[in-house]
Amino acid sequence: MHYVDGKQVIPGHYNRFQLFIRFLLEPFTGAWHHRDLIVAILRRELRERFSGSVAGWVWAVVAPVISLVTYTLVFGGAAKLPDGKPASSPIDYALFVFGGLIAFNFFTEMAYRAPSLLHEYAHYLKQTMFPAEMLPVISTLRATTYASIGLTLMLLCQLIFSGTLHWTVLLLPLWFIPFLAFLLGITWLLSAMGAFTRDTAYLMMTIAPVLMFATPVFFSHEALSPDVKLLMYGNILTGFIEIIRDIVVFGKLPDGLVVAWTVFLSALTFWTGYWFFRRQQGGITDVI
């Protein structure tokens, strides 16, 4: 460890390009280096979530089941999907909504928690050599567990009602990679901001519900006028929701342009978030 005038000195000589590559790889090398720590904290977090409750993990399954049942009851009779396609089974519309909800809820869980994340772990950050930049990684992984429960349920439901799954379901892991990257970037950004000002938390609580209407969760953006539709893609969640619906509900390959745009936005969010977090990190332990 070597610091001169508040800046870390990295041994060896690198040119700008090498430093840039090093920066791009840093989140991955860091996570690999701290993998045991990440797993240890993650285990604790997962256990803690339902500790003290009798039913425990049953809650994690019951909640998505209830919401899936509700959507089926409410929307089940719809013969047409919002984009005008005929529904092939009564549960199609429910799955359509549920797919969007999984992605959106995943996002809001991160957005609500991120601003207070570093405060939650203040005692670690102040008293041990804890790698703060790994906290967003841990909390994203934790949320992934719950999202996976929802997704599994969704697939199960589809299997039961339509008797078959589309082969494109196999692409789901590929959907997760950019989505996690996007969420991580957002969490880095929000948690660093949240360390300095509590307003970040209030801001997220205010805009997340509004954002729900700017995201095609209950409707399909396909039905909108072309101008508005294009505008919707400014919201990165639109792309993710369209892709997950394509591969899970409709069983078709997503539009290449949409995929490219979504992946681009996620990569941008990922590294911007990481860059911002690292920039603020020196001040974080001093303020929380």
Partner 1 sequence: MSSDVIIKARHLAKAYRLYDSPSDWLKQQVAGSIKTYYRSFWALKDITFQVKRGESLGIIGRNGCGKSTLLQIVCGMTRPTKGEIWVKGRVAPVLALGATFDLEATGRENVLIGGAVLGLKRPEVIEKFDSIADFAGIGDFMEQPIKRYSTGMRARLAFAICAHMNAEILIVDEALSVGDLAFQKKCVDWIDNFRRTGTLLFVSHSTADLSRLCDHAIWIDNGHVREAGDVANVVRGYKKATLVEQDSMSRFSAV
Contact residues for partner 1 (CB under 8 A)? Answer: 1-6, 8, 36-37, 39-41, 44, 47-48, 51-52, 123-130, 196-199, 282-283, 285-287
Smallest distance from partner 1 to CB 285, Å: 5
Smallest distance from partner 1 to CB 47, Å: 8
The Cα 64–Cα 60 span in angstroms is: 7
The Cα 237–Cα 262 span in angstroms is: 8
> What residues does 8 pair with on adjacent strands?
3
Smallest distance from partner 1 to CB 59, Å: 17
Please tell me the total number of residues recorded for the chain in this structure.
288
Q: Residue 123 or residue 252: which is nearer to partner 1 going by CB?
A: 123
How far from 277 is each of 125, 188, 207, CA to CA, in Å? 14, 6, 22
Amino acid letter at 105?
N
Q: What is the CA radius of gyration of the chain?
A: 21
The region that residue 84 occupies, defined by phi over 0 for left and psi between -120 and 50 for alpha, beta otherwise, is left
Q: Residue 41 or residue 181: which is nearer to partner 1 going by CB?
A: 41
Amino acid letter at 180?
L
Q: Residue 124 or residue 275: which is nearer to partner 1 going by CB?
A: 124
Q: Residue 120 or residue 255: which is nearer to partner 1 going by CB?
A: 120
Smallest distance from partner 1 to CB 64, Å: 26
Is residue 258 within 8 Å of 233, Cβ to Cβ? yes
Q: Residue 142 or residue 245: which is nearer to partner 1 going by CB?
A: 142
Smallest distance from partner 1 to CB 224, Å: 36
The Cα 266–Cα 259 span in angstroms is: 11
Smallest distance from partner 1 to CB 57, Å: 16
Q: Residue 9 or residue 66: which is nearer to partner 1 going by CB?
A: 9
